[in-house]
Amino acid sequence: MAWADAGASPEDPRWRQALTLADRWQVPEFPVRGPDIMALGDLKGPVIGDILRELEQGWIEGGFAEDREQLLAKAAKLAGKAGRSAD
């Protein structure tokens, strides 16, 4: 909006780039699924969902920066904690 307030021309290439940004953006796909979490141990359904939700929320809040391997490492830690709390 600063460009509009500054009187920038609608023909300015930066305007065109900004206007097409949303069209070019692709929604990132969360790289971890339920079977990935299930492979970490004998976990019950609700725990698997809890781990997935926690991982995905952190991934979103972190700007989608973590890759699959980083997320699986976090999942293993969470699964270990969940397994200990079930004892």
What is the average pLDDT across 8-30? 83
Output the pTM of the full model: 0.72
Residue 72 half-sphere exposure, CB side, CA atoms within 13 Å?
13
Q: What is the pLDDT of residue 1?
A: 57
Alpha helix (H) ranges present in 1-87?
Answer: 2-5, 13-24, 34-38, 45-61, 68-86
What is the average pLDDT across 4-24? 77
Question: For the segment 22-77, what is each residue's pLDDT rounded down to a tens digit?
Answer: 888 888 999 999 999 999 988 988 999 999 999 999 999 999 999 999 999 999 99
